[in-house]
Amino acid sequence: MTTPVPKARIAQDLSAPDLTEAIAGFLADFTTFTNGLQAKLQKQDDRMNKLDRKTMMTARSALATTAAPDAPHQKAFAAYLRSGDDDALRGLDLDGKALSSVMAADGGYLVDPQTAATIKSTLSSTASLRAVASVVTVDATSYDVLVDHTEMGAGWATETGSMAETTTPQIDRISIALHELSALPKASQRLLDDSAFDIEGWLAGRIADKFARSEAAAFINGDGIDKPKGMLTYPQVENEIWEWGNIGFVTTGVSGGIQSGDPIVDLVYALGAVYRANATFVMNSKTAGTIRKLKDNDGRFLWSDGLAAGEPARLMGYPVLVAEDMPDIAAGSAAIAFGDFGAGYTVAERPDLRVLRDPFSAKPHVLFYATKRVGGAVSDFAAIKLLKFAVS
């Protein structure tokens, strides 16, 4: 029978160097094991963090939190434009103050806010008097402008002397009636059935283009009958005898032409100093081509192009709006206007823009009858002056 060897005997059999080597090997193996375990734990932790981030991202809106409320109406409005299905529009719970309210009484529906904003932005950026005029939004059938165009009396007083009564200013009321502006674009039903067709963008572009051209013409030459009253349709008198209710003008001294920049200088200083700070020249392209050739007595051009992209050209330091509805240079024509149009001309409009779908009148096309109410008139006769190409 073999007798077991005691543990103390085994330890005594190992020399000191062998024991040190064995402990070092154990510590090395333990360190490797610990590093591997820590690497696995770190990898697991990274994986859990990625899963948490993905979960949080799916809980957020893809674009913006404001897109969700608009989506139901945009979808319903698109369905109405494509197929005439107005059930979704009628069933929407809409804010009464928003542009997306339903006009079920006459079958016309207000466009969604995004389309309305696109149309409004396009109208504001066009070469129209709207770009420099005062634009107000009203909910009535007309807009009244109160203008104080007379001077209040004043005088010097002494401590003990009597004070004489001074004159009282007169306030004039200018009423701007709103008229209905309409557009009638059409599209084929096959095109409307194509889901890839951006019907809202197409409709906004067509309406804005038609409205912009109609408005621009009316703000300049409208007769005020079922349309805005244009600034050139008011009575025109020489600036020396100007009085309220008329548009003052200066002349070039040449019938149907201009020989120097002096009449431009006269036009600028015919306008009161209080208006010149915000004044703008308005003329069409053909007139601009003539005026930009004028030089002063030192041979310098009066006209200077914009220094940056999108910046308007300037004439004698004042911006120039090129509006094609202004008349050409001709004998007796008022081809150039100069003034503070923010004070001198007011555009009043209602915020609602309605669209009525008509699939019957132009088959196989579908008509979209869009209407908007807008008006315009001169609100301050002292803020606008004209340059007439005439001898006197």
Has residue 27 been placed in a domain?
Answer: no
Q: Is the pLDDT of residue 77 over 90?
A: no
Check whether residue 358 and residue 302 sit in a common domain.
no
Indicate whether 20 belongs to any domain: no
- pLDDT at residue number 241: 93
The answer to whether residue 64 sits within a structural domain is no
Residues 109 and 198 in one domain: yes
Residues 182-199: what's their mean pLDDT?
78
Letter for the amino acid at 374?
Answer: V
Instruction: Give the tens place of pLDDT for each residue, 333-382.
Output: 999 999 999 999 999 998 878 888 888 887 888 888 888 889 999 999 99
The verdict on residue 189 lying in a domain is: yes
d(CA 199, CA 195): 9
Q: Is residue 299 part of a domain?
A: yes
Same domain, 197 and 80: yes
Condensed to tens digits (0 to 9), the pLDDT of residues 253-296 reads 999 899 888 999 999 999 999 999 999 999 999 999 999 999 88
Q: Please check whether residue 110 lies inside any domain of the structure.
A: yes
Nearest to 388 by CA among 287, 261, 250: 250
Tens digit of each residue's pLDDT (9 = 90 or more) over 234-246: 999 999 999 998 9
Q: Is the peptide bond before 17 cis (omega within 30 degrees of 0)?
A: no
Higher pLDDT, 134 or 305: 134
Q: Are residues 218 and 240 in the same domain?
A: no
CA angle 209–179–372, rounded 5-degree value: 45
Same domain for 191 and 272?
no
Give yes or no: residues 106 and 179 share one domain: yes
Verify that 128 and 239 share a domain, yes or no: no
Supply the CATH number for residue 218's domain: 3.30.2400
Q: Which domain holds residue 270?
A: 231-345+382-388
CATH of the domain at 304: 3.30.2320.10
| 186 and 105 fall within a common domain | yes
Q: Total structural domains in the chain?
A: 2
Do 289 and 332 sit in the same domain of this protein?
yes
Are 311 and 199 in a shared domain? no
Whether 307 and 269 map to the same domain: the answer is: yes
Same domain, 135 and 238: no
* Residue 17 placed within a domain: no
Which pLDDT score is estimated for 57?
53
Residue 272 lies in a domain: yes
Task: Compute the average pLDDT of residues 173-194.
Answer: 84
Instruction: Tell me what pLDDT residue 296 has.
Output: 82
pTM of the model: 0.68
